[in-house]
Amino acid sequence: METQESFIIEGLAGERKLTGEIKVGGAKNAVLKTLAGSVLFADEVSLERVPGIEDVSRMCEALEDLGAKIEKGETGKYKIKTDGINSSVITPAIAKKMRSSIVLTGPLIARFGSVSFPFPGGCVIGKRPIDIFLDAFKKMGAEVKEEDNNFTVTASGGKLHGAEIFLRLPSVTATETLMMAGVLATGTTVLKNVALEPEIASLGEFLNSCGAKIEGLGTPVITIEGGELLSGSEKTYLTPPDRIEAGSFVIMAALTAKDLKISDCDPSQMDALLESLISAGVNMEIGKDYVRVFDNENKTFSPVEIKTHEYPGFVTDLQAPMSIFLTQATGQSYIFETIYENRLNYLETISRFGARVRVLDSHRALIDGPEVLSGKEVESPDLRAGLAYVIAGLIASGQTIVHNVYYIDRGYEKLDERLRAIGAKIKRAPREA
């Protein structure tokens, strides 16, 4: 239920004094796809380290609405049975709220021969078209019908066949959706120019351990031999750590911490971010499964150039949180957002905090620092900009109120509780009328 809630933050006014440890949860952009992938299984699928975030609840609701049975155990253990699925009409209400519901289309068409769903909708960060999905389904023998923004995709003869597909863009969810469609299609599917995000290999390796035949994971070409329904018995999907959540916390620590350990993460998936922060002068210790940020209390940070890029480049989802760091660097920093056409809109709000921002066009901006930020009342427009506003509120002087906390709860579990545990003054409250 989307209650209107807000975070109320008392800023540190530039003091870097948070201390302790913050544990990183399971990756949202991995587990959502494995949940969708449960449709490919004849029997029960077990998952562990599932984060308690809103998007997981929405994906579970979408699956249950289709007829799946989900058992949610304690501490992130889920069991899913999809043999009871009796529909392949994705609930419009959920599909419009969560873009990643589109990933369900691949497994549903592959198993049931058709799927109906609404255009998942663009959002503040961009139009986010689905042409790559639709063109690929056609190449796999499906017919696509659209009627006032609702799509029905039907595989001729009730079964997709393999195809050789070049992705116009290395789309993350298109790669995952088509990889899963190929698992049950007849024959061989070759996907070229696929995305290389680590969550894709995590999904593909799990599917392979349950009987799928996917080759080339982690390379630009993935080949899938179509086969029978998968079997999850005795296998458990251990959700990998969320590299975006971990990166968000490292950026926050550089600006607010005396000594903070970001643990249960995988720094080897965070090179672009960590290299940028180190080049700016941030002191940190990088372990196998943690990043410790310390001795930065009186550090002067240097400006950096941030150009977002598909993995392993600088991840677009950390562009907004990183911009707060850039407001505190001494000199002029440059942001080039190459993935989305509207992912700089939040900068207008960042300048309301007092930052010196110059937006050059819809993809590029300059930030001059350092600038003391002052607390503001703001509305989260999306998940990552919302997190950026929380970081801005933590370093600002005075009080910040961040509304639409639902967006932040979509991808960060119990954020306010975890930040209070390391000394931040943040509380969750119903939105004042």
* Token couple for 261: 């350990």
Which of helix, strand or coil describes residue 71? strand
Do β-strands 356-359 and 364-369 pair in parallel, antiparallel, or remain unpaired?
A: antiparallel
Q: In what order do the strands lie in the sheet with 18-23?
A: 18-23, 257-263, 290-294, 284-286
Is 265 a residue of the active site? no
Select from 56, 59, 70, 132 the one that contacts ligand EPZ (CB under 6 A). Answer: 132
The stretch near ligand EPZ (CB under 6 A) out of 37-45, 66-74, 171-179, 352-360 is 171-179
Indicate whether 185 belongs to the interface with ligand EPZ (CB under 6 A). Answer: no
The stretch near ligand EPZ (CB under 6 A) out of 40-48, 82-90, 172-180, 226-234 is 172-180
CA-closest candidate to residue 78, choices 30, 35, 24: 35
The stretch near ligand EPZ (CB under 6 A) out of 78-86, 169-177, 200-208, 281-289 is 169-177
Indicate whether 313 belongs to the interface with ligand EPZ (CB under 6 A). Answer: no
Residue placing its CB nearer to ligand EPZ in the complex, 116 or 248: 248
**Which entry of 60, 123, 210, 265 is annotated as an active-site residue?**
123
The stretch near ligand EPZ (CB under 6 A) out of 70-78, 122-130, 246-254, 414-422 is 122-130
Residue placing its CB nearer to ligand EPZ in the complex, 8 or 27: 27
CA-closest candidate to residue 336, choices 357, 362, 302, 370: 362
Residues 211, 228 contacting (CB under 8 angstroms) = yes
Q: Is 299 left (phi over 0), alpha (psi -120 to 50) or beta?
A: beta
How near is the Cβ of 5 to ligand EPZ at its closest, in Å? 20
DSSP H helices in 185-225: 198-209
Select from 53, 63, 94, 383 the one that contacts ligand EPZ (CB under 6 A). Answer: 383
Residues 126, 340 contacting (CB under 8 angstroms) = yes
Q: What is the 8-class DSSP label of residue 171? A: -
- Binding to ligand EPZ (CB under 6 A): which residues in 242-301? none
- Binding to ligand EPZ (CB under 6 A): which residues in 72-111? 99-100
How far apart are alpha carbons 171 and 310 in whole angstroms? 9
Indicate whether 130 belongs to the interface with ligand EPZ (CB under 6 A). Answer: yes
Select from 14, 67, 121, 126 the one that contacts ligand EPZ (CB under 6 A). Answer: 126
The number of residues in the chain equals: 433
Residue placing its CB nearer to ligand EPZ in the complex, 99 or 403: 99
Residues 76, 49 contacting (CB under 8 angstroms) = yes
How far apart are alpha carbons 432 and 413 in whole angstroms? 23
How near is the Cβ of 188 to ligand EPZ at its closest, in Å? 22
How far apart are alpha carbons 65 and 60 in whole angstroms? 8
* Residues found near ligand EPZ in the complex (CB under 6 A): 28-29, 32, 99-100, 126, 128-133, 169, 171-174, 195, 316-317, 339-340, 383-384, 411
As annotated, the active-site residues are 123
